[in-house]
Chains A and B, each alone.
Chain A
Amino acid sequence: QKEVEQNSGPLSVPEGAIASLNCTYSDRVSQSFFWYRQYSGKSPELIMSIYSNGDKEDGRFTAQLNKASQYVSLLIRDSQPSDSATYLCAVTPSGTYKYIFGTGTRLKVLA
């Protein structure tokens, strides 16, 4: 089992819709969770950090964390064509300074 798993996609949504991206992780006591957006040929940029169970909202983005079920999700409301990118989930397992990345979900927002 991979430490951090994401559906590779592509996930296609129409402009204005809600895009839902999911990530599961294997280390039950992971402590920090991050979502990054990566445009083709570019480096990842941080979208959201989340550390405790529940929802965290920032503009059109909402991160949801459920430690009991070991998943973290990212919702993008009012999706725009400029949101088309690969979204990477990263997790820091307990007792380590490492960041474990999923392989990313490619999102396509159709105009």
Chain B
Amino acid sequence: DGGITQSPKYLFRKEGQNVTLSCEQNLNHDAMYWYRQDPGQGLRLIYYSQIVNDFQKGDIAEGYSVSREKKESFPLTVTSAQKNPTAFYLCASTSTGGFQPQHFGDGTRLSIL
């Protein structure tokens, strides 16, 4: 079955540590997105990518980095510069950015140790 796989489901970060969240899709979608969701909040865009080897900052990119070396994969690194990383992280993809609906993975819940 086609879909988006995010891993791990839960992740704990120590002070000063970088952690990487995985997002893989087999939907043959061109566009991929990373969102952060805090309790009682909507989704805030971190980074997005329309094609391989190209990505753009969203509204809250500081303290995060991404890569898009393959169409299927869009990993997100939460760096030590992100001082408040505790949140629910969602990866999404769509066939045509801005027109078609997004499909979401199951999310990764990141907490600080």
Contacts and interface: CB of A to CB of B under 8 A. Distances in A.
A90 to B, nearest CB: 8
Contact of B42 (A92, A96, A97, A101): A101
Contacts of B45: 98-99
B101 A43 contact: no
Query: What is the interface of chain A mostly: helix, strand, loop, or mixed?
Result: loop
A44 B40 CA distance: 14
A42 B104 CA distance: 10
Interface residues on chain B, size class: 20 to 34
29 contacts: A8-B40, A32-B98, A32-B99, A32-B100, A32-B101, A34-B101, A42-B107, A43-B104, A43-B106, A43-B107, A44-B43, A44-B90, A44-B104, A45-B104, A46-B103, A88-B42, A88-B43, A92-B98, A97-B97, A98-B48, A98-B58, A98-B98, A99-B33, A99-B92, A101-B42, A101-B44, A103-B40, A103-B41, A104-B42
Interface of A: 4, 8, 31-32, 34, 42-46, 49, 88, 90, 92, 96-99, 101-104
